[in-house]
């Protein structure tokens, strides 16, 4: 199954201009809040109408402004999971799941029961949404969506309404559910971890436009654009001055760096992920920098240090993430090296 999207839509102070072709399992759309991710989904589903362009799902034209085609949402056969799940509050779980089923009464009852069992909702059929936990509400919404047997599923930040204790288990549940689904899936999120976990293809959006589209893992390894590097979680990005084919000055950190690939004339930034920095084992090591620690934060499993170049007046920090050596260790208890190195194979050259 394939999806072709080429649409434009204008709002006051904002314009959506998106173009991509998707043919695969699960595609993610990653971007900051307000960049147009959810609006893109709503245009695909027919909830919003684009001003111009075309949307084609598996050779079926859903929208074409030039041909004046704009199929209604119910004609598009696309399942849409909203952020707040959009369950009907005055309907029971049974009624919510069965709302789109056009079957004889007994066949409908059997079908609903199958979905209750499949989504671990046994015994909850007569409850109302307000009587359910967030995780149960999500499972009801997914059951209702899949009972419709949609050609495509659109997931609009499906975990944003859940607390962290539920998120991991429900993500795994959804992954298991989607394994049995034969159609395509588009997941919108501002969480790079969700995108990486679910999606084999990735589109990055910024300010209503598509910045990058491709294989998810490839984009995380080489995001190409400075903004894409930020959105995929890179904290360490510096403008550069090119010195040679394989050498640059990182201006924010005041350090000369050797690169493993030639530096194109279009390159404006260098980046390195916080966990890719290494302690410098020998003096004068390639790409090494003497450091002092300006501050730190710690989480359950890792420490994060704010480092500065000891020989420079530059104030821009480098963030270094280090796995904790044991459960009780603290960031302040760790003995830091005198210098760190930025491995040249880990450097990202960015436009």
Instruction: Give the DSSP per-residue string, 223-265.
Output: --SHHHHHHTT--EEEEEEEEETTEEEETTTTEEEE-SS---T
Tens-digit pLDDT profile for residues 3-60? 999 999 998 889 999 999 988 789 999 999 899 999 999 999 999 999 999 999 998 9
Whether pLDDT at 344 is above 70: yes
- For residues 297 and 326, the model is more confident at 297
- CA 57, 192, 201, 197 dihedral sign is negative
Instruction: Tell me what the mean pLDDT of segment 332-342 comes to.
Output: 85
User: Which pLDDT belongs to residue 159?
Assistant: 84
295 three-class SS = strand
User: Which pLDDT belongs to residue 335?
Assistant: 81
User: Which pLDDT belongs to residue 187?
Assistant: 96
* Domain residue extents for the chain: 3-222, 234-350
CATH class of 3-222: alpha beta
DSSP one-letter string for 175-231: HHHHHT--SEEEEEES-HHHHHHH-SEEEEEETTEEEEEEEHHHHHH---SHHHHHH
Instruction: Tell me what the mean pLDDT of segment 235-250 comes to.
Output: 98
Largest CA distance in the chain: 79
User: Which pLDDT belongs to residue 333?
Assistant: 60
User: Which pLDDT belongs to residue 331?
Assistant: 63
Instruction: List all residues 6 or more positions away from 52 whose beta carbon is below 8 Å from its beta carbon.
Output: 7, 8, 65, 66
Determine phi and psi for 121, rounding to 5 degrees. Answer: -120, 20
Q: How far apart are CA 30 and CA 194, in angstroms?
A: 10
User: Which pLDDT belongs to residue 116?
Assistant: 95
Closest listed residue to residue 198, CA positions, set 236, 227, 243, 168: 168
Tens-digit pLDDT profile for residues 123-168? 999 999 999 988 899 889 999 999 988 999 999 998 886 777 778 8
**Token reading at 281:** 């084992």
- CA 92, 159, 184, 44 dihedral sign is positive
Strand partners, 79: 153
pTM: 0.89
Instruction: List all residues 6 or more positions away from 267 whose beta carbon is below 8 Å from its beta carbon.
Output: 240, 242, 248, 349, 350, 351
Instruction: Tell me what the mean pLDDT of segment 92-108 comes to.
Output: 93
- How buried is residue 335: exposed, middle or buried, by Cβ count under 10 Å (0-12/13-18/19+)? exposed
CA distances, 15 to each of 1, 202, 204, 207 (Å):
29, 21, 16, 8
Whether pLDDT at 66 is above 90: yes
User: Which pLDDT belongs to residue 167?
Assistant: 80
User: Which pLDDT belongs to residue 178?
Assistant: 84
Q: How far apart are CA 183 and CA 222, in angstroms?
A: 29
pLDDT band at residue 283 under the 50/70/90 scheme: low
Neighbours of 270 (CB within 10 A): 27
User: Which pLDDT belongs to residue 68?
Assistant: 97
């Amino acid at each position: 199954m394939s999806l072709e999207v080429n649409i434009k839509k204008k709002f006051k102070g904002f314009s959506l201009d998106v173009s991509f072709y998707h043919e695969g399992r699960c595609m993610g759309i990653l971007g900051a809040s307000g960049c147009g991710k959810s609006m893109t989904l709503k245009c695909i589903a027919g909830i919003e109408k684009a001003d111009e362009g075309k949307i084609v799902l598996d050779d079926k034209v859903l929208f074409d402004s030039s041909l004046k085609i704009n199929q209604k949402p119910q004609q598009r056969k696309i399942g849409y999971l909203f952020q707040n799940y959009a369950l009907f509050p005055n309907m029971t779980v049974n009624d919510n799941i069965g709302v789109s089923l056009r079957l004889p009464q007994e066949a409908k009852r059997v079908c609903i029961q199958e979905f209750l069992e499949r989504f671990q909702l046994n015994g909850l059929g007569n409850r109302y949404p307000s009587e359910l936990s967030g995780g149960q509400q999500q499972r009801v919404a997914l059951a209702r969506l899949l009972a419709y047997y949609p050609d495509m599923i659109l997931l609009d930040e499906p975990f944003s309404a859940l607390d962290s204790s539920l998120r991991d288990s429900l993500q795994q549940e959804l992954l298991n559910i989607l394994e049995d689904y034969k159609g395509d899936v588009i997941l919108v999120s501002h969480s790079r971890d969700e995108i990486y976990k679910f999606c084999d293809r990735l589109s990055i959006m910024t300010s209503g436009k598509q910045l990058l589209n491709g294989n998810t893992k490839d984009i995380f390894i080489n995001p190409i654009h400075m903004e894409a590097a930020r959105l995929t979680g890179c904290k360490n990005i510096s403008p550069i001055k090119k010195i040679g084919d394989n050498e640059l000055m990182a201006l924010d950190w005041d350090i000369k760096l050797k690169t493993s690939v030639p530096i194109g004339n279009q390159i404006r930034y260098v980046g390195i992920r916080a966990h890719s920095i290494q302690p410098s084992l020998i003096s004068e090591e390639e790409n090494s920098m003497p450091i002092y620690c300006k501050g730190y934060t710690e989480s359950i499993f890792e420490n994060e240090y704010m480092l500065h170049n000891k020989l420079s007046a530059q104030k821009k920090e480098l963030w270094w993430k280090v796995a904790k050596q044991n459960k009780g260790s603290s960031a302040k208890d760790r003995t830091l090296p005198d210098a760190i190195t930025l491995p040249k194979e880990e450097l990202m050259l960015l436009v």
